[in-house]
Amino acid sequence: RKEVEQDPGPFNVPEGATVAFNCTYSNSASQSFFWYRQDCRKEPKLLMSVYSSGNEDGRFTAQLNRASQYISLLIRDSKLSDSATYLCVVKVNTGGFKTIFGAGTRLFVKA
Amino acid sequence: DGGITQSPKYLFRKEGQNVTLSCEQNLNHDAMYWYRQDPGQGLRLIYYSQIVNDFQKGDIAEGYSVSREKKESFPLTVTSAQKNPTAFYLCASSWAGKGNTEAFFGQGTRLTVV
């Protein structure tokens, strides 16, 4: 079983739609959680951290459920420019902190 | 400016040749990682290192080798044993001693076997 799992998609949605991605993690020593965005042929970049109480940044909302060991990302009012791959990232306390990247979920927003 | 630098951006290699990809960071990060990405696919971990002079295999280490002689540097060698090396290679770094900090990526190296 992979340490961080995501549905690879692709998710095809129209502009203005709301779309949600889930990510599950297997290690209960996971301490920090992030969502990254990767544009085509570019490196991944931090989109937002995920806090225990949930957090929002504009149209993006991140949630953490420690009991069920999953995190989610909700995108409201999708824009064409939201088309990208979204990666779930977990930092696990293994003595030192190891960063583990999910394989990503592809999103296509269409006019 | 602090950051993580990969070089070269594009690399062409003849079959049967070894090639080394460079990754340097000046962020004072302990941990460094190498990922491979194929077209339309997700990241796959090749090797990672949490501390100087130590590294661990990731999910697809066969045909690759690394070294971590300095904190700032984590070069990846793609050997002739790697049967399908054409891919996009990404290096990342993060603080191993801090749990709530993000990882940073270099801009990647596109390797093509000709």
Check residue A55 and give its pLDDT. Answer: 95
**Comparison of pLDDT for A77 and B113, the residue scoring more:** A77
**B60-112: pLDDT as tens digits:** 999 999 999 999 999 999 998 888 999 999 999 998 877 778 899 999 999 99
**Overall average pLDDT of the B39-55 stretch:** 92
Antiparallel, parallel or unpaired: β A11-14 and A30-38: unpaired
Q: C-alpha A97: how far from its chain's center?
A: 19
> Scanning the structure block, which residue is given the tokens 């460079």?
B22
Euclidean distance between CA atoms B73 and B20, whole angstroms: 12
Which of B31, B42, B90 comes nearest A98 by C-beta?
B31
CB atoms within 10 A of CB A67: 6
Is B30 in CB contact (< 8 Å) with chain A?
Answer: yes
For chain A (length 111 residues), average pLDDT per consecutive 10? 88 97 93 94 94 94 95 98 96 86 94 95
The rounded distance, in Å, linking the Cα atoms of A99 and B102 is 9
Question: pLDDT at position B102, please?
Answer: 87
- In the predicted model, is pLDDT for residue B54 greater than 90? yes
**Nearest CB neighbour to A98, from listed B50, B106, B107:** B50
Residue of A nearest to B31 (CA): A98
Angle of CA points A51, A43, B11, to nearest 5°? 155
